[in-house]
Chain A
Amino acid sequence: MSLEALTYTFVVGSFVIYIAIAFWSRASSTQEFYVAGGGVTPLANGMATAADWMSAASFISLAGIVSFAGYDASGYIMGWTGGYVLLALLLAPYLRKFGKFTIPDFVGDRYYSGVARVVAVICVMFISFTYISGQMRGTGIVFSRFLQVEIDTGIMIGMAVVFVYAVLGGMKGITYTQVAQYCVMIFAFTVPALFLTFSMTGHLLPQTGLGATLNNGMSVLDHLDGLVTELGFSSFTEGSKSKVDMFFITAALMFGTAGLPHVIVRFFTVPRVRDARISAAWALVFIAILYSSIPAVAAFGRINLIETVNGADNLGTPYEEMPQWFKKWENAGLIAWYDHNADGRTQYAAGDAFTGRQHKPIYWGAAEDKVARNFYSNQRHVVNPSSGEFDPKVQPFANEIYVDSDIMVLANPEIAELPDWVIALIAAGAMAAALSTAAGLLLVIATSVSHDLLKKTIRPQITDRQELLAARLAAMVAVLVAGYLGMHPPDYVAAVVALAFGLACASFFPAIIMGIFYQRMNKYGAISGMLVGLISTISYIVYFKFLGGEPEHWLMGISPEGFGALGMVLNFIVAYLVAHLTPEPPKHIQQIVQNIRVPRNSGSAYY
């Protein structure tokens, strides 16, 4: 079978499985639609949580980011795994004992306030829509790269699939599809990683292979440090960011992870408090399998890239001799070459090979266009080369290469010369990563509308059947909005994602923690804390990301990505002060706090 036929088989086959699972486990009550009937086993919930959490960004982009940023990207690795320690120890067991359907449920009931509930709903919506547009975009990109389909068509196919199984299956349906998606995803990531490690180092596991010794007697990381510093980059294993900034970025990602609604809500689906703790542990183990192999994939990918482009003698490789994958991804627009020194050889070093916004190449004409290519070498023409100046004291030549960081995962199997079915597997895995996260988010949005806004705020008299119908309609509308956002992505996707984590960190995390661990916290404290956290974080990020604030003016050198952590501290302080100046919460609320701290009788809360 050709590669394209194989890819279609894998992708379509996996879609059929997801829809079949959703049909078999479709939801028939709000209880099943919101929390899968509360009967999911800890192991299954752990897998589903891992799939829910690991998005297209984790699967495709993170290894590339680590590959180019080295130690500076550690904040992502520590933040996106360390958040689960907080979830397991501080949130999951108690929220499970509380036993409602949503985060706004908890915030609204614990702080006996409709205002608190509505503030929480707004945060949930904002965080979830930000995230889901990225996932929809992700499915479109995977389609376009592997199956030569237009991005927008790909997004529509993705919408249709999620639509069928999330609207039909609800939480019950997506839980079991997420279990299947986790298996597809982890297999697709691990197989190429194992092959790559084995072919580079002879080790079996990426986690130990990263510390291995190469044929030249150097360890992998020393070798890589030597390669990159010679080319004018900063060292791979050492950072260039300030420690304060690293600290705050890591903290914002960690506490933000623990405050993300679509992750927290997964812990409502297990039968007992004990199961919430166990499934949090499983989730982290399943996530760790992928995350701990990312640094190895990143390092090997960077070494391969440098050695392929610059050749064994570090003079560059003649373009005609470049491997097939280089030309394939050049056609896809993820790689570009401009021959600054006109020697016919590709050279990779520090600096930007192209000018303009984000220093991305602008190709002259389409990939199929023969005229838009060099007559002799057949390379694609690019119209925005940089000046090609460089400092000879720092690096041997100017950088001539643009590489999109997604290449590190997408092209891995080809670089390692793995069989076609592995490449097809990557496509199915990336799709699973994007769809599973999209479905989880979709459900959170639908639940906020039908449960928190409709049932709890606007029309409390509706029946269970009507609420279920409303949830399905809300999910349908949310799919359409998410698809639209995916097709017309906001201009600054990365900045908006920073905002989502910042908000989760500065609003939900403190409100929930104080709701559990601080009995004296009342509604005045919680609401003013949330508002201060929200407003300070939004203002800081908007000012520095959108209104052109200069990095010199960062408060204590904290970048906008890390400000959520400071917003969280402000939230805690303000909430504490306000709570002490206002009356303590009513007795029955204090009773609830006492009650969620003890595991027994968790089932009684919602039956």
Chain B
Amino acid sequence: MNPDTDTATQYWRRNLQIIFSYLAVWFLVSFGCGIVFVDELNQFNLFGFKLGYWFANQGSIFVFSALTIAYAVRMSHLDNEFDVHE
């Protein structure tokens, strides 16, 4: 029943790489831009918003949505590539 172990290990490694890079972005926009560096970013103005405030209240939500969509698409391709899809 179990797929070939080598394929499974490689598939898992690729998956982890993707997860780490996406979570880096997730962390950067919310905790980074929205909290830690908010004062520095507030010096800049983006379409009438202070940039730090925008990240905390709007930007992070859009980036979060984009990340989950991108992950679903990316993983569907990866599933096919490693032939582990259903």
Contacts and interface: CB of A to CB of B under 8 A. Distances in A.
Contacts of A594: 2, 8
B8 A238 contact: no
A163 B59 CA distance: 40
A595 B47 CA distance: 48
Contacts of B79: 273-274, 599
A246 interface: yes
A480 interface: no
Given A597-B8, A598-B11, A601-B86, A292 B62 contact: yes
A451 interface: no
Contact of B47 (A66, A74, A211, A598): A211
Contact of A281 (B15, B26, B68): B68
A219 B48 contact: yes
A601 B79 CA distance: 13
Contact of A88 (B47, B58, B68): B68
A277 B71 CA distance: 8
Interface string A233-273: 00001110001001100110010000000000000000011
A288 B64 contact: yes
B84 A600 contact: yes
A415 to B, nearest CB: 21
A220 interface: yes
A280 B42 contact: no
A187 interface: no
Nearest to A273: B86
A285 interface: yes
B77 to A, nearest CB: 11
B26 A277 contact: no
A251 B31 CA distance: 8
A281 B57 contact: no
Given A211-B49, A246-B35, A250-B35, A597 B12 contact: yes
A582 interface: no
Given A220-B48, A243-B36, A599-B86, A77 B68 contact: no
Interface string A170-205: 000000000000000000000000000000000000
Interface stretch (A79-87, A379-387, A526-534): A79-87
Contact of B31 (A84, A85, A247): A247
A71 B48 CA distance: 16
B42 A598 contact: no
Interface string B43-86: 00011111001101110111011011101100110010000111
A9 interface: no
Interface residues of A, number: 56
A89 B85 contact: no
B56 A77 contact: yes
A285 B30 contact: no
Contact of A81 (B46, B64, B75): B64
A599 B56 contact: no
A151 interface: no
A90 interface: yes
A601 B1 contact: yes
A212 interface: yes
A93 B8 CA distance: 16
Contact of B62 (A219, A222, A250, A288): A288
Contacts of A250: 30-31, 34-35
Interface string A566-607: 000000000000000000000000010011011111111000
Nearest to B79: A599
B58 A295 contact: yes
B26 A82 contact: yes
Contacts of A597: 8, 11-12, 15
Contacts of A89: 19, 22-23, 67-68, 71
Interface of A: 66, 71, 74, 77-78, 81-82, 84-85, 88-90, 93, 207-208, 210-213, 219-222, 237-239, 243, 246-247, 250-251, 254, 272-274, 277-278, 280-281, 284-285, 288, 291-292, 295, 591, 594-595, 597-604
13 contacts: A81-B65, A82-B64, A89-B67, A90-B19, A93-B75, A273-B79, A277-B75, A284-B68, A285-B65, A288-B65, A295-B57, A594-B8, A597-B11
Interface of B: 1-3, 8, 11-12, 15, 19, 22-23, 26, 30-31, 34-36, 38-39, 42, 46-50, 53-54, 56-58, 60-62, 64-65, 67-69, 71-72, 75-76, 79, 84-86
Q: Which 6 A-B pairs have the closest CB atoms?
A: A211-B48, A74-B56, A219-B48, A281-B68, A277-B72, A88-B68
